[in-house]
Amino acid sequence: MHLIPQSWAHLHILVSVFPSVGLIFALGFYVTALISDSEALKRSCLVAFGVLGLLAIPTYFSGDGAMEALSANPKFSEDMVSAHYGWSMAALAVLAMTGIAAWIALGRFSRAKRVSDNALHLVLGLAIVTLGLMAVVGELGWEINHTELRLATQKTPQIWSHVHVILNHLPTVGFVFALVFYIAALVMNNVVMKRSSLVLFVICAILGVPTFVTGNASMWALTDPPVAGISKAVINAHRDFALYSLFALAFTGVTSWIALWRFRHLGRFSNRSLTVILLFAIVTLGVLAETGHRGGQINHPEIRVATDVLPTDPNAGLSPFVEHEINQVLWFVPWQTVHFFGFALIFGTALAVSLRVLGFWKSISFSAVHRILPLGVFGVVTNVFSGMLILQADSSRYLNEITFVPKVIFITIGAIAVLYFSVSEPLWNVKAGEDAPMSAKWVAALVLLSWTGVVIGGRLLPYV
């Protein structure tokens, strides 16, 4: 991996994802800060917006340099480059305004202990407009290079490749933000920031699942039949690291969730747990960076350098080995059985906790049912691994089944919604005999609906 990009195009690919995809996470932290009225988190977010505003400069110059360097390359359409450039001017201008507004608000913070709501809302509004413009710019930018997205359906439809190109940035860029805010939280010893960063670690781990699945589907869309310039061996090298990323994300996500779960009961974090999470997160970021770099090498010949040695054997590595082994009855049947046990754990736990929130067995406090949540979370981990293994047995068939997409969407929604049970203050305060707030009941209904959808979608896979 090149730690320092050696071309404008490479630098542009790396830098530009932060003011675009990264803005989603900065906004997430900012909204959390406004809701929780945490001054430390507000200030940290303003610094983040300020830094993202500064990134407008390298984003512009690297884009300009890449445009000049690649102008003679027939792969890149001049019209598409112009459209991307035009929209990016507007987006970078509003991004710079967001950054300036954030720095001004920070300056006010240093003079007074509080900053006016108007200034904070101005930054929020500008950031939302920037995000909208960045979505257009990003889409136009990806389409410049990813001409394969316009190919006809191969073994799987090209929509998978398109979704993967977008989705893969969420757990990677999100993880960078989570780690930066987490380190800041540890330095400032701020509870709200610690909890927010831990929540983002968990969300990134959950987003790793649809990212991995769409990546698998993209492989078939780009290799069967073969597409000129795309090598299955290079894809497999990326897939191997994607598998390691999934493990690393799971370790960081689960330890983060356990810390959140323990905090709920004890009202404090254990320093040892926080240190372990920090170590996991640093290793995970390294694995994600290498995975992203290998992914970029699949279809960005313009960023390759003379010293790059790309793999050539499509049967080498971990992924082909897993594909071969899981196709043996000796391995497939046990992991499929584990998968069904996992569903039982998840659905049983989600049902018990959700029904209490919805008004069943009110004689028990919410904190009592909260204790059984680890069973469901371990069930999710069990099923992510067993599910990924099962998927490798015949991925193109599973991915083309009509119920697979809803299943993966429901897994993502259901897993993120369960997080609410461990972060909501009003829900935590529901004592024995008390009714849960209406907002919590809606979330409980969403959790039940999602996991019901997952079970039905999974069960229908072989039949419809």
Partner 1 sequence: MANLDVILMVIAVVSCVIGLVLFGTYYLNRTLDRNAG
Question: Using CB under 8 A, which of the segments 87-95, 152-160, 378-386, 410-418 binds partner 1?
Answer: 378-386
Contact present, 133 and 198 (Cβ < 8 Å): no
Nearest distance from C-beta of residue 391 to partner 1, angstroms? 17
- By beta-carbon proximity to partner 1, the closer residue of 341 and 360 is 341
Question: Using CB under 8 A, which of the segments 82-90, 325-333, 400-408, 420-428 binds partner 1?
Answer: 325-333
**428 is an interface residue for partner 1 by CB under 8 A:** no
**455 is an interface residue for partner 1 by CB under 8 A:** no
User: What is the C-alpha to C-alpha distance for residues 366 and 352, in angstroms, rounded to an integer?
Assistant: 11
| Residue selected from 3, 187, 228, 266 as contacting partner 1 according to rule CB under 8 A | 266
| Residue selected from 229, 334, 359, 462 as contacting partner 1 according to rule CB under 8 A | 334
- Residues in 222-261 that interact with partner 1 by CB under 8 A: 258, 261
Straight-line distance from the first to the last Cα atom of the chain, in angstroms, rounded to the nearest whole number: 43
DSSP 284-335: HHHHHHHHHHHHHHHH-GGG--TT------TT-SHHHHHHHHHTSHHHHHHH
Contact present, 103 and 128 (Cβ < 8 Å): no
Question: Using CB under 8 A, which of the segments 72-80, 104-112, 174-182, 368-376 binds partner 1?
Answer: 368-376
| Residue selected from 5, 348, 374, 437 as contacting partner 1 according to rule CB under 8 A | 374
**314 is an interface residue for partner 1 by CB under 8 A:** no
| Residue selected from 61, 247, 331, 428 as contacting partner 1 according to rule CB under 8 A | 331
**378 is an interface residue for partner 1 by CB under 8 A:** yes
Nearest distance from C-beta of residue 71 to partner 1, angstroms? 56
Cα distances from 11 to residues 16, 90, 236, in angstroms, run 8, 21, 24
User: What is the C-alpha to C-alpha distance for residues 135 and 190, in angstroms, rounded to an integer?
Assistant: 32
Helix axes 169-188, 159-167, angle to 10 degrees: 10
| Residue selected from 265, 324, 431, 459 as contacting partner 1 according to rule CB under 8 A | 265
Give the count of beta carbons closer than 10 Å to the beta carbon of residue 295: 23
Joined tokens for residue 291: 């995975």
**335 is an interface residue for partner 1 by CB under 8 A:** yes
- The answer for residues whose C-beta is within 8 angstroms of residue 208's C-beta and 6 or more apart is 171, 245, 246, 249, 250, 253
Q: What is the CA radius of gyration of the chain?
A: 23
Point out which residues bind partner 1 (CB under 8 A): 258, 261-262, 265-266, 270, 329-331, 333-335, 337-338, 341, 345, 371-372, 374-375, 378-379, 382
